[in-house]
Structure 1
Amino acid sequence: MSDPIAWADFEKVDIRVGRITRAEAFAQARRPALRLWLDFGPEIGTRKSSAQITRHYAPEGLVGRQVLAVVNFPPRQIGPFMSEVLVLGLPDEDGEVVLIGPDQPVPLGGRMY
């Protein structure tokens, strides 16, 4: 178990729901990855992410899916691609990422509390 944190520390992490609007293979990545474009609604807009999720997901099956992402990390350059958000997932029994998202449609940009 991790060390406890204050509620104020948790509130600093801005986790929002976005819809994947575009997904494609990221051939230039060192490890197999996909490039994702996510719509977080009018307040945040569209942001990009690089995600190492190729074991369970193909680009064509991701468009339209809602996922959770941290939207307030600084952008990170990954090869020729600027990743602007961190899409969240959990490891399966083999350590491969399984995406986290709502099980029912929710408004884009909704914040996780």
Structure 2
Amino acid sequence: MSDQISFDQFMAVDIRVGQIVRAEPFPEARKPAIKLWVNFGPEIGERKSSAQITKHYTPEGLVGRRVMGVVNFPPRQIGPVMSEVLVLGVPDADGEVVLIKPDIETPLGGRLF
């Protein structure tokens, strides 16, 4: 378990609901990855990301999927891609990423609380 944080520290991390609108293979990545374009609604708009999620997902199967992402980290260069959002997941029994999503449809841009 990590160190305890305050509620204010938790609230500083802006986690929102988005929908993948485009996904492409990312062969230039050091580890197998997929490039993602995620729409977080009118307030935030579309953000790009790179995710090492090739074990359970294909680019074709990701389009239209809702995901949760951290939208207030600074952009980070990952090879030729500038990642603008951290898409969230948890490990399966083998340590492979399983994406987190709301279990019912929610408005794009909805904030986790």
Q: Same fold by TM (over 0.5)?
A: yes
Q: Which residue matches 2:78?
A: 78
Partner Cα distance (2:23, 2:105) in 1: 19
Partner Cα distance (2:47, 2:2) in 1: 30
Unaligned segments of structure 1, at least 5 residues: none
Partner Cα distance (1:2, 1:42) in 2: 34
What secondary structure is seen at the aligned counterpart in 2 of 1:57?
A: coil
Q: Which amino acid aligns with 2:71?
A: V
Partner Cα distance (2:5, 2:79) in 1: 34
Partner Cα distance (2:94, 2:16) in 1: 27
Q: Which residue matches 1:89?
A: 89
Q: Which amino acid aligns with 2:31?
A: R
What secondary structure is seen at the aligned counterpart in 1 of 2:21?
A: strand
Q: Which runs of 4+ in 1 moved over 4 A?
A: none
Partner Cα distance (1:103, 1:33) in 2: 25
Q: Which residue matches 2:7?
A: 7
Partner Cα distance (1:70, 1:85) in 2: 6
Superposed, 1:1-113 pairs within 5 Å as 1-113=1-113
CA root-mean-square deviation: 0.5
Unaligned segments of structure 2, at least 5 residues: none
What secondary structure is seen at the aligned counterpart in 2 of 1:107?
A: coil
Calculate percent identity across the aligned residue pairs: 72
How many aligned residue pairs are there?
Answer: 113
